[in-house]
Amino acid sequence: MAEQIKLLEMKGITKRFPGVLACDSVDLELHAGEVLALLGENGAGKSSLMNILYGLYKQDSGQILINGSEVTFDSPLQAFTLGIGMVHQHFMLVPNLTVTENVALGLCHDRTFALNLGEVRRKIVDVSRKHGLAIHPDAFVWQLSVGEQQRVELVKALALGANLLIMDEPTAALTPQEADELLDLLRDMTKRECSVIFISHKLNEVRKVSDRVIVLRGGGKVYDGPTRELSDSELAGRMAGKELGQAAARAPQPLGEPVLDIVDLHARGDRGVKALNGVSFSVRKGEIFGLAGVSGNGQRELAEVVNGLRRVDSGNILLDGRDVANCSPLHIIGQGMGYIPENRIHEGTIPPFSIRENLILKDYDTDKMSVHCFLSMDKTRCFASDLISSFRIKTPDMETNCASLSGGNIQKVILAREITRNPKVLVAVYPIRGLDLGATENVHEQLLRISEAGTAVLLISEELDELLALCDRIGVIYEGRVMKVLEARKTDKQELGLLMAGVESPSEIESPSCPDERSIELEEVST
Amino acid sequence: MKKTYVIYNIAVVLVALLIALLIGAALFAVAGGNPITAYKVMLTEPLRGAFGVTETLVRAAPLMLVGVGVAVSFRSGILNIGGEGQILMGAVSGAFIGLSLPGLPKFLLVPLIFLAAFAGGALWGGIAGWLRAYLGVNEILSTVMLNYIAIQLYTYLLRAPLIDPQELAYGTGIPQTAQLTRNAWLERLIPGMRLHTGLIYAIIIAVLVYLLLWKTTLGYRMRVCGAEPLAARYAGMNVSRYLLLAMLLAGGLAGLAGAVELCGVHRRALEALSAGYGFSGIVVALFGGLHPLGIIPASALFGLLIVGADMMQRAVTIPAHIILAIQGLIILAVVSSALFITHRGIREKILGRFGWKEEVH
């Protein structure tokens, strides 16, 4: 194991990318046993700064000192041998290798040919048991949901035995209980003279876990001090550079007839294993129905099945009274379905195509865009410029490639396209994942607006704050079943979090024996 | 700003070409010729007279058709390496129609031959397309392998069922069909030269393919399927269907190249009908930026190189086949240069050297 890092200093780190100043002479100091939170919006420079520390990027100027002596990293391997481990926000996993093989990638540097996968597998099982992180060592990474992949990343870093751990939004995919456990775990680690740099958007977590916080904005450091000295709204204000109000709370809505009726739906996931196990719920006209759950419990499959992208084994999907189960995606789109997919870059848009060509993706052969079978340049231009201005898509012109837009603007392109079609039902899957506060607010405004116009919105999310603020009703999905549907106004995070962890009735936990029962539940998940 | 990028992209491709030619110079030196004279002859000699120019354009027509077909398939997400086989299948189908219906008037016979050639090529491309779309067979493997099958099938047809009866009568046995009737010939544009109307058809077809890919809803669908199959499925497109369609079109266009050689140049099907156009067409397509309007000039340039290589062979006694090696170098250089075009950071760095600044969004 590497020498313990007693003191890490980064001095005057500056990193420039073409046209962007990612880090502007940032100083950072971290002592052993300390948890440092790094706060900032997307693009504030957090990830760049950490990638420099991890040896993925090289700073243009500035120094990194460990225990007082200067170090230079040319590769993550060097950072790793010095005891720095990182859990990335965008997963650094090889999809067509198994979990074990992915972890082995970090462990097998010392020998060229010998590879003891059994040893690695044991290590993974140890780590995942010790920290209660359910992971199947022989699963292929491509089969895992985003949440499960995040867990693999965690296990990987822990198995490598780093003593300075960089965590880039590690709790994004966890239930509140699991997140709490992780935060406790991080706290535990610091007692053993480890140190943690914790990157997050979630102020309550930052407050819970960190001693000190550094706020970055536009590549520069705007605050560095003890976490408790600033209130949540002050921290948020420093991140955004302006005071942000809470997401507009949902006014009570007069609800109409059910438009999307899902009845006893069964379907299988990529591995051929049952992913949906008799899902039933309905979404009414003008309603925002939230589906909460830890990712990997059937949400992706549900969204795909509803949109005709995955086969239904049995059950019905009634869209405005007509069954669309196993219909073609085109038919379902024609029946008034809108879909904001989880994979916004490769499924929601075509990166090398212009914004104009992306905006017309679903309506290109209607009279609005084309004359007979010819695309009309005038009509599509007119359409695109309308949407760009009404949805405030930030771009130099409509012929710019979607690939060069920021995440928030890509999401605006998708929202603009889906919302202007006036769908009867809109399925939105993790619509704010990875977006900064401004972009998140924008997505929420649009969802509220369209539901007020009468669209039934199915919002699949793992952000409980988001669900509680926006939704009329919230269903909790767990292992392919909807556990319970709750009125958003009559529930809270605690109740939802327990349901997400598979605890059927919250009263169970009030009995003295509850902690054991819960851990049994969690173990079942892990097997 | 857009204009700068276009100029930049063209400049990158031209620099890649230059680098390929420089490496090629080493090959000339090894072969014992003076590279400077060799290139000079190759690039200028064909342009000195009507003969060279017209021969260049004769070569350009089939290159253009194959190249445009390759562009259709590449843009739709399928790599068609089977142009050679598709040309031969197109040519032999066309020859069959031409020999079977010699009595038809020209205005019927030529379109029929072209139609048959299109169908023959489309069938050959379609096999690979179907295998890829519905059984997941890698199209690079299948198209390359189908080339071998096509070449053997073609040779068989020329040696036995379709062989010129005269060849049998005289006992010479050269594997070629009888000459087509005059009604099947494409008109020559200039008396005494081989340049024929096929070039005009090829240009028209290239423009039509441009309109298809960029101006119609069908072309939009094909390009979406090629660029991002996930998004295509998301938008309700049947990706498999468009993969198959793209290969039918690509094969058909290569088949038309076979028909152009058949009716315009040789006036019969013979063994060396294709002269490697199926492979050179890929170079042309890549060099032309996989865009029909880039492929038109690119095919003229490669026509020039082929004719120039022949002339160089006489001038500096280096085998004309060296042009195949040079084409290979050009492919490598052009494909490698794609990095400079698609990578924003590199593009900006290079443009920055010349005083351009990219806006940041």
Question: In this structure, what CATH number is given to the domain that contains residue A488?
Answer: 3.40.50.300
Residue A18, pLDDT above cutoff 70? no
Give the contacts of A322 (CB within 8 A, at least 6 positions apart).
Answer: A335
Task: Chain B: give the shortest CA distance to residue A299, in Å.
Answer: 17
Mean pLDDT, chain A, integer: 82
Query: Which amino acid type is present at position B269?
Result: A
More confident residue, A351 or A526: A351
In this structure, are A256 and A218 located in the same domain? no
Both tokens of residue B66? Answer: 């194959």
The answer to the question of residue A476 being in a domain is yes
Decide: B343 and A18 in contact? Cβ < 8 Å: no
What percent of chain A is modeled with pLDDT above 90? 27
What percent of chain B is modeled with pLDDT above 70? 98
Task: Quickly tell me which residue has 């309308």 as its tokens.
Answer: A386
Task: Chain B: give the shortest CA distance to residue A394, in Å.
Answer: 7
pLDDT in tens, A401-418: 888 888 888 999 999 999
In this structure, are A434 and A496 located in the same domain? yes
pLDDT in tens, B101-111: 988 898 999 99
Residue A242 has φ and ψ, to the nearest 5°, of -150, 160
Residue A280, pLDDT above cutoff 50? yes
The answer to the question of residue A245 being in a domain is no
Q: Give kind and range of the element (H or E) at residue A359.
A: helix A355-359
Cβ contacts (< 8 Å) between B230 and chain A: which residues? 343, 346-347
Band the pLDDT of A33: cuts 50, 70, 90.
Answer: confident
The answer to the question of residue A1 being in a domain is no
Instruction: Tell me if B236 and A329 make a contact (CB, 8 A cut-off).
Output: yes
pLDDT in tens, A482-523: 988 998 888 887 788 778 877 766 444 444 433 443 343 444
In this structure, are A415 and A431 located in the same domain? no
- The residues on A that touch B, with CB distances below 8 Å, are 17-20, 307-309, 328-334, 339, 341, 343, 346-353, 357, 360-362, 364-365, 369-370, 373-375, 394-396, 399-400, 404-406
The answer to the question of residue A345 being in a domain is no
Mean pLDDT for B56-70 is: 95
Which of A472, A463, A524 is CA-nearest to residue A497? A463
The answer to the question of residue A122 being in a domain is yes
Residue B81, pLDDT above cutoff 90? yes
Q: What pLDDT does B124 receive?
A: 96
Q: What pLDDT does A525 receive?
A: 42
Residue A524, pLDDT above cutoff 50? no
Which of A303, A266, A279 is CA-nearest to residue A146? A303
Q: What pLDDT does B45 receive?
A: 87
Both tokens of residue A92? Answer: 């650094």
Phi-psi region of A278 (alpha: psi -120 to 50; beta: other; left: phi over 0): left
Query: Domain ranges in chain B?
Result: 62-297
Domain around A29: 7-240
- Taking CA–CA distances from B212, the nearest residue in chain A reads A374
Task: Count Cβ–Cβ pairs < 8 Å, chain A vs chain B.
Answer: 89
Helix H segments across B136-197? 139-159, 165-170
Residue A36 has φ and ψ, to the nearest 5°, of -105, 125
- Global ipTM: 0.84
CA-to-CA distance for A413 and A431, rounded, in angstroms? 12
Query: Which amino acid type is present at position B309?
Result: A
The answer to the question of residue A341 being in a domain is no
Band the pLDDT of A134: cuts 50, 70, 90.
Answer: confident
Band the pLDDT of B356: cuts 50, 70, 90.
Answer: low
Selecting from B231, B235, B358 the residue whose C-beta is nearest the C-beta of A19 gives B358
Q: What pLDDT does B276 receive?
A: 87
What percent of chain A is modeled with pLDDT above 70? 86
Band the pLDDT of A108: cuts 50, 70, 90.
Answer: low
Say if B5 is an interface residue toward chain A (CB within 8 Å): no
pLDDT in tens, A324-337: 999 999 999 999 99
The answer to the question of residue A270 being in a domain is yes
In this structure, are A136 and A218 located in the same domain? yes
In this structure, are A393 and A483 located in the same domain? no
| DSSP one-letter string for B20-39 | HHHHHHHHHHHHTS-HHHHH
In this structure, are A360 and A304 located in the same domain? no
Residue A348, pLDDT above cutoff 70? yes
In this structure, are A466 and A517 located in the same domain? yes
Instruction: Tell me if A17 and B348 make a contact (CB, 8 A cut-off).
Output: no
Instruction: Tell me if B217 and A370 make a contact (CB, 8 A cut-off).
Output: yes
pLDDT in tens, A226-257: 888 887 777 777 776 644 444 455 666 667 88
Which residue, of A403, A421, A439, is where some domain finishes? A421
Query: Which amino acid type is present at position B80?
Result: N
Selecting from B224, B227, B231 the residue whose C-beta is nearest the C-beta of A348 gives B231
Q: What pLDDT does A512 receive?
A: 40
The answer to the question of residue A299 being in a domain is yes
Say if B174 is an interface residue toward chain A (CB within 8 Å): no
Residue B155, pLDDT above cutoff 70? yes
Neighbours of A458 (CB within 10 A): 25
Residue B185, pLDDT above cutoff 80? yes
Mean pLDDT for B211-239 is: 94
Decide: B51 and B44 in contact? Cβ < 8 Å: no
In this structure, are A93 and A198 located in the same domain? yes
Side-chain-side CA neighbours of B97 within 13 Å: the count stands at: 25
Q: What pLDDT does B351 receive?
A: 79
- Taking CA–CA distances from A363, the nearest residue in chain B reads B235
Mean pLDDT, chain B, integer: 89
Q: What pLDDT does A20 receive?
A: 66
Selecting from A350, A375, A394 the residue whose C-beta is nearest the C-beta of B217 gives A375
Q: How many domains does chain A have?
A: 3
